[in-house]
Amino acid sequence: MNESAFFSYYSSPVGELLLTSNGEALTGLHLPRSDGSPAPLSDPRSPRQDSAFREVRRQLDAYFAGERRAFDLPLLTGGTPFQRLAWEELARIPYGTTISYAEQARRIGRPGASRAVGAANGRNPIAIILPCHRVIGSDGTLTGYGGGLDLKAWLLWHEATMLGDKKRSSSTTVRGKLQPVT
């Protein structure tokens, strides 16, 4: 269901993002590895086709420029029914806003399933566009992110800065410690 026919790379402020598509919808936006290299292709036989991602690139350019707060793209995520429910809720979290895993679980009608929500978010195939970076610990700390906590902090800082939230954009709580975002 989530097979990719094409791929491309997108150079972003957070590194090379791997984009995948089945030719009709975006099937993946994968963050760089911790060493900065692009995520690996799941099917190395997939051809690179940059032109298939023209609209994705346009919307990502606008997001990183602070001109776009929501994405309007056809998406195909695959996943289990529970994962899709969790990912659909991610798309409802407003730009520059954070919620806890517990709140996300409550919103999908599964209070008490915050760990399952965290696991689903960890398998989110379309990072940034389905903004799992906006989900934080109940105590306000940054926890769990496939791209690493520094990247999660950067994305939250970026959104806060674009909204003009100087107080929030000057520092971020990571693992219970207040650390400046660079």
Could you identify the residue written with the tokens 């209070």?
111
Q: Which residues pair with 99 in a beta bridge?
A: 135
Query: Are the beta carbons of 57 and 48 closer than 8 angstroms?
Result: no
Q: Which residues are known catalytic residues?
A: 132
Which of 168, 135, 170, 165 has its CA nearest to residue 66?
A: 165
Amino acid residing at 172 = T
Q: 99-100 and 135-136 as β-strands: parallel, antiparallel, unpaired?
A: parallel
